[in-house]
Amino acid sequence: MKQKINILLAVLGMVVLFGTASCSDDDFTESIFDTTDYPLDKNSYSFPLDTFVKKNFLEPYNMRYMYRMQDIGSDMEYNLVPCTYDKALDLAVLSKYLWYDVYSQYAGETFLKTYSPRIIHVIGSPAYNPTSGTETLGYAEGGLKITLYNANNLDPNDMDNLNEKFFKTMHHEFSHILHQNINMPNDFPFISNGRYNQSSWQDTPDSVALGQGFISPYASSAYREDWVEIMANYIVKDEITWNDMLKAADYDWETVDDYPAKDFDKAVARGADRDTLGYFVKVTSYESGSPSTYKIQRKLVSRSSDGTAVLNEDGTPQFENSDGQVGRQIILQKLQMATEWIKKNFGYDLQDIRDEVQRRQWVTDADGNFVKGSNGRYINNLTYVRPDGTTLLDELRQEVLKYKELQNK
């Protein structure tokens, strides 16, 4: 199931599944996988990373981290390139630190051995879908394989982008694997029944989706995506961002067709920015080569009894804050349902996973409180320079680089 958003390939052992017609007395081998323990080549440039993934993924969880490009393992519909060694190294150590180690701590080794994907497939380039104007970030195949794209653009300095393009995708696809093993609650698809929009979800602005009770535009594409998006977003979004999303979900939204360009221009001139006025989606007509009308999606404007918009002192429109907080309530209802399902069926607390991921992502003080930078946002824990001049990412990379010592023996 693919995760998309608007505008990770080594084969340590090749896995080929054959579907054949056979008689009941055929002599099958014990495993479809080649379980021979081939020695790694110490003379190979990639020996340190290959050893790391063998020790940390293959041996404990029977999971193959594939980063060398092979066409047979990729989607031929896309024009793809391999992941570079350095980016594959960074993604491997970060996957262990921010994903596997967290679940191992709170859900246990048995859980990971049972539900971990058998392959993480890493591709260097993005996977664009030109017909829909979207980008596929990753997808899960039959509970066995997770494919991650765009690894060559991995930037450890940008935690928000790191989460959006990689770790939210990992949690999203992993959640698909979980519900492919144990069905989601039967009531979940009915919470937002009738509001899913599979064909044009990509045209829905973030805040509009939130106001409708979807944690992201992609969540509004189908109930299965809605189910995994609520968990993935809750795990990776920091507290500031999460609360801002819930605030946006408090508002009702409206669509205005053929909004006059002159009125839109006046609003912009008064200082009404994109978030205040709304989101113009497209030009609906032109006059003398210039836009004359727009289609607008915006917060629901407060109006007097005669239908006139109520304005603030500065001339900007007042917007209605839904007393029922419908979008917020729906999102929190979905989160509660997912949390209870995780606890009942897999025995761990989603809140524990989120808290640990947040502590690993962001700098905390001696009391465990998150530290804000001069911009009012939390400080990236991966690249924060510590008093000794090192970073956490340096430390994580050393878990791979230490195997270079074996090459000299």
Query: Tens digit of pLDDT for each residue in 105-134?
Result: 999 999 999 999 899 989 988 877 666 666
What's the CA gap between 65 and 386, in Å, rounded?
30
Average pLDDT, the chain: 83
Cα 36 to Cα 12, 13, 14, 139: the distances in Å are 11, 9, 12, 29
Please check the confidence at residue 60 and state whether its pLDDT lies above 90.
Answer: yes
Structure confidence by residue, pLDDT tens digits, 229-263: 999 999 999 999 999 999 889 888 888 888 888 87
Q: What is the C-alpha to C-alpha distance for residues 327 and 250, in angstroms, rounded to an integer?
A: 6
Predicted local confidence at residue 35, as pLDDT: 52
Q: Is residue 7 within 8 Å of residue 134, measured between CB atoms?
A: yes
Over residues 316-342, the pLDDT tens digits come to 777 776 544 589 999 999 999 999 999
154 near 92, Cβ under 8 Å? no
Weakest-pLDDT range from 18-22, 32-36, 207-211, 295-299: 18-22
Report the C-alpha gap between 95 and 98 in whole angstroms: 5
In this predicted structure, what is the pLDDT of residue 34?
A: 46
Rounded CA separation 384/356 (Å): 18
Sorted by sequence, the CB contacts under 8 Å of residue 170 that are 6+ apart come out as 95, 99, 138, 146, 148
Backbone angles phi, psi at 357, to 5 degrees: -60, -45
Q: What pLDDT was estimated at residue 145?
A: 83
pLDDT, tens digit, 9 for 90 and up, residues 197-219: 998 898 888 888 999 999 999 99
Q: Which pLDDT belongs to residue 223?
A: 96
Check residue 314 and give its pLDDT. 78
Contact between 311 and 330 (Cβ < 8 Å): no
Q: Cβ distance 227 to 188 under 8 Å?
A: yes
Alpha carbon distance 141, 366 (integer Å): 43
Is residue 146 within 8 A of residue 140, CB to CB? The reply is yes
Q: Give residue 1's pLDDT.
A: 57
pLDDT tier for residue 271 given thresholds of 50, 70 and 90: low
**What local confidence, expressed as pLDDT, does residue 19 receive?**
36
Q: What pLDDT is stored for residue 10 in this prediction?
A: 36
pLDDT digits (tens, 9 = 90+) for 97-107: 999 999 999 99
pTM exceeding the 0.85 threshold for the entire prediction: no
Q: What integer pLDDT is reported at residue 23 of this predicted model?
A: 36
Please determine, for residue 268, whether its predicted confidence score (pLDDT) is greater than 70.
no
What's the pLDDT at 310? Answer: 84
| Higher local confidence (pLDDT), 297 or 226 | 226
- Percent of the chain whose pLDDT exceeds 70: 79
Note the pLDDT of residue 209.
Answer: 92
